[in-house]
């Protein structure tokens, strides 16, 4: 599969590395210019482009940029495509976003509203980039770590699940995109290594507005 990645920071690079290792063709991009990604591309074994080129390139496109920049993502090339949204809301970094603070929406619903026609799946937001390499295990491994997803398109979720499984993780479907708050920042299942049944329990236990202590998800 061709995978475009918008964002070439910690999580974009980690996902690009896994995607290449799994035989996918990858193009990464950042906010500056492809020429700033030359050594990264060589190290990972991927192509580089602008965000628009990565969006056009991918059959599936991963968004991995600071949330505050989400309106800069090119919408037109993503119409009809599967978009995996790894973004999180960190007010200290992104500034206060009233619609999120008031729980009127979720981070991924905001992105979906900006990308009409895209098949958006919230995925890879609830794992720290280092853990993508260290916690990956073959399918069937006891206590294999599970990652939560949410989305409104069943086929897009199926493909996201296949990709996550190939990357080394079980998947727990939290339901439609509107349920994505259950694994946003500081919810009980956020960036915690849990096997499938425990992740399901963590999603069920989440209460909107009730946060775990900041940073408790770090090891």
Of 40-48, 87-95, 140-148, 175-183, which part binds ligand NAP (CB under 6 A)? 87-95
Asked if 156 is part of the footprint of ligand NAP (rule: CB under 6 A), the reply reads: no
Figure out which of the listed residues 15, 51, 84, 147 binds ligand NAP, where binding follows CB under 6 A.
51
Rg (CA), the chain: 16
Asked if 74 is part of the footprint of ligand NAP (rule: CB under 6 A), the reply reads: no
List Cβ neighbours of 54 (8 Å cut-off, separation of 6 or more): 4, 5, 6, 27, 28, 29, 61
Among residue numbers 164 through 183, which ones bind ligand NAP (CB under 6 A)?
Answer: none
Asked whether the beta carbons of 141 and 69 are under 8 A apart, the reply is: no
Neighbours of 22 (CB within 10 A): 14
Among residue numbers 107 through 126, which ones bind ligand NAP (CB under 6 A)?
Answer: 125
Neighbours of 189 (CB within 10 A): 26
| Closest residue by Cα to residue 44 from 133, 134, 142, 177 | 133
Q: Which residue is nearest to ligand NAP (CB)?
A: 9
| Distance from the Cα of residue 168 to its chain's centroid | 15
Asked if 141 is part of the footprint of ligand NAP (rule: CB under 6 A), the reply reads: no
Figure out which of the listed residues 20, 21, 69, 178 binds ligand NAP, where binding follows CB under 6 A.
69
Q: Is 64 helix (H, G, I), strand (E, B) or coil?
A: coil
Please state the closest distance from residue 26 (CB atom) to ligand NAP, in A.
Answer: 14
Asked if 128 is part of the footprint of ligand NAP (rule: CB under 6 A), the reply reads: yes
Asked if 17 is part of the footprint of ligand NAP (rule: CB under 6 A), the reply reads: no
Neighbours of 35 (CB within 10 A): 7
| Pairing mode of beta strands 170-173, 2-6 | unpaired
Asked if 53 is part of the footprint of ligand NAP (rule: CB under 6 A), the reply reads: no
Size of the site for ligand NAP (CB under 6 A): 25
Reading the block at residue 39, the tokens are 């050594």
Binding site for ligand NAP (CB under 6 A): 6-12, 29-32, 51, 64-67, 69, 72, 86-88, 90, 125, 128-129
């Amino acid at each position: 599969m061709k995978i475009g990645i918008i964002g070439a920071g910690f999580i974009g690079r980690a996902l690009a590395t896994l995607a290449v290792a799994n035989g996918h063709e990858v193009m990464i991009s950042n906010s500056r210019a492809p020429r700033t990604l030359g050594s990264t591309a060589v190290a990972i074994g991927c192509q580089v482009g602008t965000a628009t080129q990565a969006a056009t390139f991918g059959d599936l496109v991963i968004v991995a940029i600071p949330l505050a920049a989400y309106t800069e993502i090119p919408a037109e090339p993503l119409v009809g495509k599967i978009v995996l949204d790894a973004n999180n809301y960190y007010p200290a970094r992104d500034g206060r976003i009233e619609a999120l603070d008031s729980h009127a929406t979720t981070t991924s619903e905001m992105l979906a509203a900006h990308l009409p026609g895209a098949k958006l799946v919230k995925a890879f937001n609830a794992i720290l980039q280092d853990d993508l390499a260290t916690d990956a295990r073959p399918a069937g491994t006891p206590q294999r770590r599970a990652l939560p997803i949410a989305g409104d398109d069943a086929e897009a979720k199926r493909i996201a699940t296949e990709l996550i499984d190939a990357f080394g993780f079980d998947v727990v479907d939290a339901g439609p995109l509107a349920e994505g708050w259950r694994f946003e920042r500081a919810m009980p299942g956020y960036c915690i290594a849990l096997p499938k049944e425990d992740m399901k329990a963590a999603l069920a236990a989440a209460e909107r507005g009730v946060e775990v202590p900041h940073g408790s998800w770090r090891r």
